Structure 1
Amino acid sequence: MKMKKQSKFYSLALTALLSVVTAGCSFWPGGGQKNNLPPNPTITSVVAVSEDYYGSIVPYKPNQTRGMLAGNSYRIDFSRLELGLMEIARDTFPTDEYLFQEGQQIKAEQVSEWIAQYNIKAPDGKKKTGLLVNVLEHDYLEKQQKQLAGMVLGISLSPIYMDATGKEKTYNTDELRAKGQQVAARIVQAVRADNPQIPIVLALYQVPDKNSTLVPGHFIMSGTVNANETAISKWQPINEEYFLFPSDVAEKNYAQQSLQFDKFKRQTQNFFGEYIGMTGLGRFMGGKLTELTITATAEYDSRTEVLQFTQFAAAAIDEAFDKSVHVNLYVQSINRPLAIYIRPASGEPYMHIYRQ
């Protein structure tokens, strides 16, 4: 995130907050004259945000398939899935030309039918696995007319399948990409029946292992359907990975980054002379660490201790990790957040200490 854009976002947020506070003062005794207030507050039809993110329209319409995964045995980190879809969308639908809206074209009943087509029961009739886990739709509206101008479909896939004997096996990445392309082709045909003209971007998302509670899923491929076409014209592999620090898996695959995290962890713990639970979640793109989210948990005695720790950790981050890595630091106790520190890959860092 560029600093100029980030600063603009914070400035807009602060301006909005001050505006609300100023208006609110007129309702307090001695706070101003009520006659100065407009009789009917109005709201713009477009909500403006940072240039890095999409604006939206009001009223906000929730996704047609929201809540479908309730009770599902698969775990999907929807925050990373949705933000990842937006990242992919920017290449086709620039943020300065399009507005965002949650999916309104695909109904929950359609997605349920698609998922059911890929459900397979084991010979014993007890276990059941399915290649297709979920389909998430994002819509993009032309900024001036506010008409639907594009779609992005996140197709969540499970690599687990059962052979003829009912034994669970796992597709490797290339196999899952091939299977996912077949699923995507069928979904595009169905979607094209109601939306024949708009371009569609597809993103294949591999759900995390069922036993994994901290490591999210990841994108493995993206494809494009041009306007007025019915077939996917281009597929591009995505080499995205997530690793938990510290862990044997991370140490095996990325030894250097594991050493860097261990050094950072020791530095911060030695400075305070007490136990601080610390984990990191690294995002790798094409084998390169691009984002690291660090969570530091302890029982802090005072806000000044939180401030000192966060400042020390910020300095240690600059020493341990390359400036090209976007780093998020979350400082918390068992029950509540205490501080955040964000160091973007480009631009100035940002720190906030919670007062309550």
Structure 2
Amino acid sequence: MKRIAWIVGLAILLAGCAPAYDKQEEELMKETQENNQKEKAIVPKYSISDEYYRPLVNKKDKYEPSKARGIIVRQVDNRLDIEEMEMGLRRHSKEVYDPEEYFFQDGQYLSDDILNDWLDRKVNEEGSDGTPNGLNPSLPLGASEQQYRENPVYLSHILEQNFFKKTDEDNVELSGISISLAMKSEYEFQVEKWGASYYEEISRDEMLTQGKKMAQTVLERLRGMNKLEDIPIMITIYQQEAKSSVVPGNFLAKTTVEGKNGEISEWETIDEKYVLFPSDEAEENYKKESEDMLDFQNDVANYFPNYIGVVGKGFYKDDELVNMEVTIPIEFKGKAEIVSLTQYVYSLIMENFPNYFGIEVKVESHEGQESLIVRKPGEDKPYVHIYDK
């Protein structure tokens, strides 16, 4: 989310110089979820870029939040996972629902009541805590530590996103749904209330097996909902990181099921990963980037006396670096130093980093963000902004 702030700011700045348009939005009609009546929906005529969907919002409420708004914050511990799930699901949805043709709306079918029901443990015949529709394994009353370990809570959240498409000049209809199952990589539990916390790691293979099984059940339940019988549904499986992790997790697999189909026939493996620099993993598995980041860190340290450290987060797809986000925390000693450091970092990017991947560098102090340098993949020169406080 923070990454697009400079783009938004630039758009606002340019808006002051642009010609006025009589109508900045487009009024369309769509069917309500509850009945077959039509209601007005608004879409902006312009998008920030081709990478983003134009949002579909309710005429009365302006912005119509998800029916399960807030659930993800309670279910997913790491905020980085929350951001990656939401933005990453949109990223993968673009391969199925073209942003030039589809409009976006937060999920309107999976309410908080439905999710609370599905995310619980399944109640068993002998009697246990849970619900009949719970997707997580059942657990007997008075379960032992070993029983907890053998029956972990795998699924923590189900994220829904809706996509609409024009049917004619004045109407839009629901034309696609994207779903992401958030699967735990680490299960935390307590045998006794207020007792000690225990941890159980969940392997990737076990997580995928359970996630694919749950995805089939979720698909069948969605097909049973009003108006979702013949809607294309994309489903992804997302692996969460531990709540203490400084990088988010990643998507493991995805599938798209065409309308009226209630069976998942095959899955496509997703090869994505976030890597922290510096780290043992980076040094062992990503030597070239690790060495480049170490050289960059040393150059900054030698140049700037109030330097604190450099932290990088690399995003890899199919084992190739796609984007690198770098944060440089400093002790603020004046605007002149900020300008000088930003210019120096700009030159380092130009001279030492190839442009086949994107790079974003943030200079931060205890007073907040001081400057921003962004270069998109394939571009020669970065965009630079120094904040005026």
The 5 Å alignment of 1:1-356 reads: 13-18=12-17, 44=26, 45-47=42-44, 48-49=46-47, 50-58=49-57, 59-72=62-75, 74-77=77-80, 78-116=82-120, 117=134, 118=136, 123-124=144-145, 129-143=152-166, 145-160=171-186, 168-194=199-225, 195-212=228-245, 214-347=246-379, 348-356=381-389
Q: Which amino acid aligns with 1:46?
A: V
- In the TM superposition, residue 161 of structure 1 has moved relative to its aligned partner by 5.3
CA distance in 2, matches of 1:256, 1:333: 29
- In the TM superposition, residue 260 of structure 1 has moved relative to its aligned partner by 0.9
- Structure 1, unpaired ranges of 5+: 1-6, 24-37
Deviations 1:197-249 (A, max 9, x none): 1101111110111332x111111111111122111243111111111111122
TM-score by length of 2: 0.77
Q: Which amino acid aligns with 1:204?
A: I
- In the TM superposition, residue 169 of structure 1 has moved relative to its aligned partner by 4.0
- In the TM superposition, residue 264 of structure 1 has moved relative to its aligned partner by 0.5
- In the TM superposition, residue 167 of structure 1 has moved relative to its aligned partner by 7.8
Deviations 1:259-314 (A, max 9, x none): 11000111111112343321011111122211110001112322232122112112
CA distance in 1, matches of 2:24, 2:352: 49
Q: Which amino acid aligns with 1:189?
A: E
1:27 maps to what in 2? none
Deviations 1:121-148 (A, max 9, x none): 5514988841111011010010452211
CA distance in 2, matches of 1:278, 1:168: 31
Q: Percent identity?
A: 27
Q: Secondary structure at the match of 2:267?
A: strand
Answer with 41-50 or 317-326: which moved more. Answer: 41-50
Kindly tell me: are residues 18 and 219 of structure 1, through their superposed partners in 2, closer, same or farther at Cα, counting changes over 3 Å? same
TM-score by length of 1: 0.84
Kindly tell me: are residues 17 and 79 of structure 1, through their superposed partners in 2, closer, same or farther at Cα, counting changes over 3 Å? farther
- In the TM superposition, residue 10 of structure 1 has moved relative to its aligned partner by 7.7
Q: Is the 8 A contact 1:226 1:233 kept in 2?
A: no
Answer with 84-93 or 247-256: which moved more. Answer: 247-256
Q: Secondary structure at the match of 2:359?
A: strand
Q: Secondary structure at the match of 2:172?
A: coil
Q: Secondary structure at the match of 1:146?
A: strand
Q: Which amino acid aligns with 2:15?
A: A
CA distance in 1, matches of 2:24, 2:318: 47
Q: Is the 8 A contact 1:269 1:275 kept in 2?
A: yes
Q: Which amino acid aligns with 2:43?
A: V
